[in-house]
Amino acid sequence: MFNKLKLDGASYLAAQRAYDGWSLFGIVVLGALLSTAALAVLLYRSGGAFGLVVLAFICIGATQLAFWTRTFPANQATRNWTVLPENWEMLRRQWEYSHAVAACLNALALLLLFLSALRVETR
């Protein structure tokens, strides 16, 4: 991220081509949300494991909040990084930091799911 923030406009547009087709990854995000919600339902009466799964679900949901409020508007304003409007540097920061926030939230969700697995009582 920090190296990409140093790129000039033309180089940044070229670097952004690495993300072509990533919109299909939304299917994986939907799967993560649905499977985490299903796990929460299954663990409803298992105490601490349930709470950790709910927190993981909230983290994954928060990545969507970051995407739709920060990443998507930057994508729209730049036509998916094919043009650079006058405020492109602000949009670039918005895009890069929203991805960093989402990565941290996804990592936290994964950690919470691991911890919940350790708390589930086996019978």
Question: Residues 88-104: pLDDT tens digits?
Answer: 999 999 999 999 999 99
DSSP 12: H
Distance from C-alpha of 31 to C-alpha of 39, rounded to nearest angstrom: 12
Rounded to two decimals, what is the model's pTM? 0.89
The three state secondary structure string of 66-92 is: HHHHHHHHHHHHCCCCCCCCCCHHHHH
Residue 119 — very low, low, confident or very high, per pLDDT cuts 50/70/90?
Answer: confident
Distance from C-alpha of 69 to C-alpha of 73, rounded to nearest angstrom: 7
* pLDDT tens-digit series, residues 22-58: 888 899 999 999 999 999 999 998 888 999 999 999 9
Q: Please give the structure tokens belonging to residue 35.
A: 């499977």
